[in-house]
Amino acid sequence: MGSYVNTFAVLLPSALFLSFTLASIFRRTGTLIGGRFRQASRARRELLLERVATEKRSHQAEQEHRKGKEIKKDDVWEQIEGSLLGSEEELADRDWDGIIGFFHPFCNAGGGGERVLWAAIRATQARYPSATCVVYTGDQDHDKTAILRRVKDRFNILLHPPTVHFLYLSKRDWVLANKWPRFTLLGQSFGSLVLAWDAFSLLVPDVFVDTMGYAFALALSSWFFPTVPTGAYVHYPTISTDMLDSLDTGGQGINAGTGAGFRGKAKRWYWQLFAWLYCRVGSTIDVVMTNSSWTQAHIQTLWGPYRNNETDSDSTDIDVVFPPVAVEEVVSNVVVSEASEKKREPSILYIAQFRPEKNHQLILEAFASFMQSSPTFPSYPGATPKLVLIGSVRDSDDATRVYKLRLLARELHIADNVEFICDASWSAMLERMQTCSLGVNGMWNEHFGIGVVEYQAAGLISVVNDSGGPKLDIIVEVDGKPTGYHASTKEEYAEGFTKGLSLSPEESLATRKRARKSAQRFTDKGFADKWIRNLNKLVKLQIARATK
Ligand SMILES: *[C@@H]1O[C@H](CO)[C@@H](O)[C@H](O)[C@H]1NC(C)=O
Ligand SMILES: *[C@@H]1O[C@H](CO)[C@@H](O)[C@H](O)[C@H]1NC(C)=O
Ligand SMILES: *[C@@H]1O[C@H](CO)[C@@H](O)[C@H](O)[C@H]1NC(C)=O
């Protein structure tokens, strides 16, 4: 017995010592490699900064030249700068002149993720005019001028050219899904490490930000460069708790019930291993932002506990930063005022593609039962309620669906009160947003719901399913009062219609104004404010670590 205790007394400290040594060797190896990267890219860094300085001078000269000739100044830039900064709580470190690296290998793709990237860079430029933004991209066949022109055309985002630069990655195919037909999750993550290696050999930034979901690249950065703060903007978790649960029989989705047998077991182990890695990786990231409450909840479950233990930041720092939606366009075209209330009819608007998950059938049934209650609405004397369905018809399946919905409307005896508008133009939609009173959305568990944000911007009172983004993020209270209603069943939808249309004229206008205010969270300005708040944290960290 005694010898056991003795052995234990020797073993335990040795094990501790060993693990401590291993951990320290691991850390040192990282910083050693990192040091090599810094050294190797030093010349490029200096060249880049020189180029920034030259471009700044020539840009300024050009501006002055234009002013002198009194040509109409198209520099929206200064306007943006002013509008973004006036309201910021603090302007500390305004002359910070570090390099922020944005890891976005597909920056020319022109999708929603890219809109976020460019809006983020624009906000960054406004907040830290002396900083340099560098985008690591794999779009080798597009030069800076071409990319910036596309950003302007596609998103109407005007960047300040002197302080944004592109570094070209040559190993982008490593992160493509078709390179990894098996073990795609692990393969792509490994690929992102290769790509990050590629990036660091081009330039070591002072702050490293990933806007595409390559969390492993950020972890590699922290290992090589412990003083470089990292930030992640997460659109979607790489692995979600739903996926793990779906392996159990009774779950939903494509993997439902595949958890049985040996293959199932192996798959479960593989996913669990990956989830474990993903969680560890997440714990190394200094600042985390997500694009919605749904993503935040998932990232919180995965990364939260590890972040609590491993970083000094607390896990509640995972911030929701909504991507910008074209709210301003609706606001400037649709009036919400006492006078415009006269134009509104007791009509309910549903803008959605004619796809099955949009659940038009349920909305028709709900409308029918609402009509059966023979409603009268003092705020809209003499008018009969209508349901207006606007949607695009992409193919013959959609067309068949519209045909069936028309039949259903007839069966339900509401055909005279239902209007179908296929492939409406934007101006026709705006017109309806001005004349309808309510907006409805029938989809269950919609991740977000740009359409619902547009309803709000137009001052429509919304009735949406009690789930997903419309519930969590969009139709929420403003100043402690509702901006719409949540419903789960057709009866509840009908009830929502009745409630929304029975509001007194004053209450109705007040609700519209609240809805419009709620939509302000999704504007470019709303995005920029929150982005800057998180960026401030990164810059503070950088300054603190660099002077330590
Ligand atoms: C967040 O990103 C995911 C994946 O791209 C997308 O499905 C979702 O709609 C986005 N959420 C918002 C609020 O844009
Ligand atoms: C975090 O630390 C607590 C106690 O310090 C421990 O109980 C918990 O298991 C740890 N969580 C993880 C995910 O390591
Ligand atoms: C609406 O949401 C509830 C709860 O989230 C869900 O159970 C229900 O099926 C949804 N209804 C429709 C019509 O999608």
Ligand with minimal distance to 469 CA: 1
**CB under 6 Å to ligand 1: residues?**
235-236, 291-292, 295, 322-323, 447-448, 469
Task: Determine the residue of 465, 490, 491 to mutate for testing ligand 3's pocket, defined as the one with the most ligand atoms within 8 A of the Cβ atom.
Answer: 465
CA dist., res. 536 & res. 286, Å (int)? 12
Output the pLDDT for position 71: 43
* Mean pLDDT of all residues in 498-520: 95
> Phi and psi dihedrals of 39, rounded to 5?
-60, -45
* Residue 185 φ/ψ region, left for φ over 0, alpha for ψ in the -120 to 50 degree band, beta for the rest: alpha
pLDDT digits (tens, 9 = 90+) for 86-104: 445 567 788 999 999 999 9
pLDDT digits (tens, 9 = 90+) for 238-266: 887 777 777 665 445 555 555 567 888 88
- Compute, in angstroms, the gap from residue 308 CA to the centroid of ligand 2: 8
CA dist., res. 437 & res. 89, Å (int)? 37
For CA atoms 240, 244, 246, 247, give the dihedral sign: positive
Output the pLDDT for position 308: 67
Ligand with minimal distance to 304 CA: 2
* Mean pLDDT of all residues in 142-160: 90
CB hemisphere CA count around 413 (13 angstroms): 5
What's the mean pLDDT when you consider all of the chain? 88
Q: Which two tokens stand for residue 197?
A: 């290696």
Output the pLDDT for position 251: 46
Going from N- to C-terminal start, the domains of the chain cover 23-57+93-324+526-546, 327-522
Output the pLDDT for position 129: 93
Output the pLDDT for position 532: 93
Output the pLDDT for position 185: 86
Cβ(186)–Cβ(175) below 8 Å:
no
* Mean pLDDT of all residues in 491-504: 95
- Compute, in angstroms, the gap from residue 244 CA to the centroid of ligand 2: 21
Ligand 2 contact via 208 beta carbon (within 6 Å): no
Identify which of 152-161, 180-189, 356-365 has the greatest average pLDDT: 356-365
Output the pLDDT for position 118: 95
Q: Which two tokens stand for residue 311?
A: 């970083």
Q: Whose CA is nearest to atom 2 of ligand 2?
A: 309
Fold equal for 23-57+93-324+526-546 and 327-522 = yes
* Mean pLDDT of all residues in 463-471: 93
CA dist., res. 489 & res. 497, Å (int)? 13
Is beta strand 319-320 parallel, antiparallel or unpaired with respect to 287-290?
parallel
* Mean pLDDT of all residues in 391-399: 89
3-state SS of 85-145 is: HCCCCCCCCCCCCCEEEEECCCCCCCCHHHHHHHHHHHHHHHHCCCCEEEEEECCCCCCHH
Choose between 283 and 3: higher pLDDT: 283
Q: How far is CA 138 from the centre of its chain?
A: 22
Q: Which residues contact 122 (CB under 8 A, 6 or more apart)?
A: 80, 157, 158, 159, 528
Output the pLDDT for position 196: 96
> Phi and psi dihedrals of 62, rounded to 5?
-60, -45
Ligand 3 contact via 441 beta carbon (within 6 Å): no
Output the pLDDT for position 76: 45
CA dist., res. 329 & res. 453, Å (int)? 12
Q: Whose CA is nearest to atom 14 of ligand 3?
A: 444
Output the pLDDT for position 79: 47
| 23-57+93-324+526-546: CATH, from 1.10.287.110, 3.40.50.360, 3.40.50.2000, 3.90.870.30 | 3.40.50.2000
pLDDT digits (tens, 9 = 90+) for 342-394: 999 999 999 998 999 999 999 999 999 999 988 888 888 888 999 999 998 88
Q: What percent of the chain has pLDDT over 90?
A: 63
* H helices present in 373-523, as ranges: 396-411, 426-435, 450-457, 468-469, 490-502, 505-519
Helices (H) and strands (E) in the chain, counts: 20, 13
CA dist., res. 294 & res. 317, Å (int)? 15
Output the pLDDT for position 500: 95
pLDDT digits (tens, 9 = 90+) for 34-88: 999 999 999 999 999 999 999 999 999 988 887 766 444 444 445 445 555 544 5
Look at domain 327-522 and name its CATH class.
Answer: alpha beta
Is beta strand 230-234 parallel, antiparallel or unpaired with respect to 207-210?
parallel
- Compute, in angstroms, the gap from residue 123 CA to the centroid of ligand 3: 38
